[in-house]
Amino acid sequence: MQLFQYSLVKKVLKSKWFIWSSIPVFVAGIITLAYFSGIKDFPVFPNNKIFDYRTYNDSTAGGNSKIIAKFVSDSMIQLQFQISDKINNPYVGLNVGPKDGKTINLEPYNELIIKLNGAELNGISLALITENSITKGDRKNQDILFYHNFKISTGTNAYTISLDKFKIPDWWSEYNRIEDASTVRSEIRNLKAINISSAFTPDSSKILSLEIHSLAFSRNNHSLFILIIALVFAFVLVDFIVVYVAEKIKANWKVITIAYKPVENKTTENPKSDFIGFINNNFQNCELTLDFVSGETGVSQRKITNEIQNRFGCNFKTYINRLRINESKRLLLIKELNIGEIAFKVGFNNQSHFNRVFKAEFQISPTEFREKNRE
């Protein structure tokens, strides 16, 4: 059976209605694509005219890590430093902020690209510091921190990080009493500074080095392009079908009576309800939230919360932390892994938070647990 008549298809494609209704959609799509394609990268380094580059260490947190030297040229920022074990999560870093102290609107961008070489470093922490848009009663905190850790490879490499990966760290949300910080998306309309620091790097007597060759905000339009093309295609297809049907009715001169039969709307329970198993298999994911589990399993957030409370006597967050802490006990017996790596492997994105949760559960720190159980 032929779906479309060739003669009618030719007539539709030549009809003024189809042509003039499709042209604005094509034009709008092309203009949108051209606009977003024209957004150039915003360089943070090298960009000495706008930004200052300052170092910092963990001394304010009681640490003793040291910046030995800083070198800034038109092509590279180099830090030489030593990490101390005086605190649980030692660090040194580079603070990048506008010289005039004003904020910068980087809203058109959706990813950050950094090219670096961190010899003997396990990972890097990036923090975006913005003016706070979250209020708590009548009080508004001055800044809000969005944070992301990532591991790095040997040699000089470029790393592309989606801004959606930047989250408010647990310690910041606890301090500022934000109940579900995982739902707050990073916003860079009012960017104040960028922090680049060492992460998951054990204390060492060696002089370590971090070289930053470039840092820029960029826009990835791949998903947007696919969406715009799909919308334009869908509109043109619907427009074609509407005009084709109208032409066919007109050609046949027949009255078509359409009988509508009411459709019974039955609500069924989603059979994919093993959310406990899903949580147990995915607790290592640091982005595992109540909203994420609900979306993946089809079970409502209220049902998940009530079921965990009834079966385990705790809330959602506590249940996940227990899974992570129990797994960390096993990994702590593996001497090749440092505590920072273990925290990352079991789903914590901050070693300090891991230490607090572990000690609250077992009344000893991870380091003490490892020493106590060492053969």
> pLDDT tens-digit profile of 81-117?
888 877 777 888 899 988 888 888 888 888 999 999 9
Distance CA 198, CA 93 (A): 6
Q: Which of 14-18, 210-214, 259-263 has the highest mean pLDDT?
A: 210-214
- pLDDT class for 139, splitting at 50, 70, 90? very low
Q: Which residues pair with 247 in a beta bridge?
A: none
Give the model's pLDDT for residue 214. 93
Give the model's pLDDT for residue 262. 47
Q: Which residues pair with 284 in a beta bridge?
A: none
Give the model's pLDDT for residue 116. 92
Give the mean model confidence (pLDDT) for residues 130-145: 61
Q: Are 326 and 358 in contact (CB under 8 A)?
A: no
Distance CA 110, CA 161 (A): 9
- pLDDT class for 2, splitting at 50, 70, 90? low
Kindly report, residue by residue over 162-179, the tens digit of the pLDDT: 888 888 777 777 766 666
| Residue found by looking up tokens 């490892």 in the block | 370
Q: Are 179 and 136 in contact (CB under 8 A)?
A: no
Kindly report, residue by residue over 19-55, the tens digit of the pLDDT: 888 888 888 888 888 888 888 888 888 876 788 889 9
Domains along the chain with CATH numbers:
6-37+236-252 (no CATH), 42-218 (2.60.120.260), 275-372 (1.10.10.60)
Is the bond preceding 43 in cis, omega lying within 30 degrees of 0? Answer: no
Distance CA 321, CA 42 (A): 39
Does the pTM surpass 0.85? The reply is: no
